[in-house]
Amino acid sequence: MPSLVSSLFTIILPVFGLIFAGYACRKTNRLGPNASSELNRFVVYLALPALLFDIMATTPWRSLDQPAFIAAFGIASGAIFVLTLLISLKRSKHLADASLDALNAAYPNAGFIGLPLCALAFGHASLAPAVIALIMTVCVLFAVAIVLIELGLQTEKNFAATIGKVIKSLVTNPLLFAPFAGWLLSGAGLTISGGADTFLKLLGAAASPCALVALGLFLGEKSKGGAAGTTSMLVTGKLIAQPLLTWWLAFHVFALPILWAKTAVILSALPTGTGPFMLAEFYRREASVTSSTILFSTLISLVTVTLCLAAITR
């Protein structure tokens, strides 16, 4: 366990390093006040779509045929998402902002932290469930949040006109079109090779680092404190409620194989990823709560994830 804890620090510290790099560049004015938004636009329009397309295009459909794991992980994240959404709406929040709150509470950093952590903790065999969880998080959960945000931002009183605008926005949204196109490519049995594959890998690899730097740039602006009460609720939901619910579902309801159950729990215990921040900036919603949730959940997860690992590996 000591070596695993030190490995956890090794995985998470670069996350803080990238956030601090952006923070320092903004504080010293090396990058201007629009840098966070522009860098985030690069992520949303280029880097993240390339990553999502590549993930889906290189994942065979048959490898996704794990209904029990999908149910355990998906029901837990979905329940936290819906519960947080309802609480935020009851507090009279706009649907777009409530959707971002819900995503903050249910969106684990499965790619940047989850994949390397699972490999270290449980070995190469755990990468299969980790990839499924990653797809569910960055494609399915992300897509649900985008649909709700688009619905919330439409001001047409006519229902048909509203639905039409939402559908048009969704069809042209690269964060939805890219993974769907990759899914179709995989289903057709086609592969990407040569220069096209290298292009996707290079562009996709920039998504997480650039998003973290953009987050640091945002935090470097003055007066960017998030509401403490809301942030505390979201961090609690992400780091405590979601892994506990996943543990109950994985071990006691669906009785997953031990490796898959442990992987589901540890992935659900991860801190909030950068996806919600990307959407907050992209849709020009208030991002202070989102940035605080990502920052504090990542910091606190050094303790909570360590305790979670100790509990499920003893």
Beta bridge partners, 272, equal 108
Is residue 297 within 8 Å of 268, Cβ to Cβ?
Answer: no
Q: How far is CA 212 from the centre of its chain?
A: 12
Does 198 score more than 80 pLDDT? yes
CA distances from 277 to 202, 230, 243 (A): 22, 15, 22
Whole-number percent of the chain with pLDDT over 70: 93
Whole-number percent of the chain with pLDDT over 90: 45
Report which of 220, 234, 214 is spatially closest to residue 274, judged by C-alpha positions. Answer: 214
Q: Calculate the CA dihedral of residues 256, 259, 262, 266 and round it to 10 degrees.
A: -130
Domain residue spans of the chain: 45-189+222-313
SS3 (DSSP) at 205: helix
Angle formed at CA 92 by CA 91 and CA 94, multiple of 5 degrees: 125
What is the pLDDT averaged over residues 35-52? 90
SS3 (DSSP) at 272: strand
User: Tokens standing for 39?
Assistant: 């860098």
Report which of 267, 256, 211 is spatially closest to residue 77, judged by C-alpha positions. Answer: 267
261-274 pLDDT, tens digit per residue, is 999 999 999 999 88
CA distance 219 to 40: 14
CA distance 287 to 281: 7
129-162 pLDDT, tens digit per residue, is 988 898 899 888 988 998 899 888 876 556 666 6
What is the pLDDT averaged over residues 150-178? 74
Q: Which of 123-127, 171-175, 186-190, 227-231 has the lowest mean pLDDT?
A: 171-175
Sign of the CA dihedral with 199 first, then 277, 154, and 151 last: positive
pLDDT greater at residue 25 or residue 157: 25
277-306 pLDDT, tens digit per residue, is 989 988 889 888 999 999 899 989 888 998
* Structure letter (DSSP) for residue 124: G
Is residue 104 within 8 Å of 149, Cβ to Cβ?
Answer: no
Q: How far apart are the first and last CA of the chain?
A: 9
pLDDT band of residue 106 (cuts 50, 70, 90) is very high
Could you tell me the pTM of the whole model?
Answer: 0.84
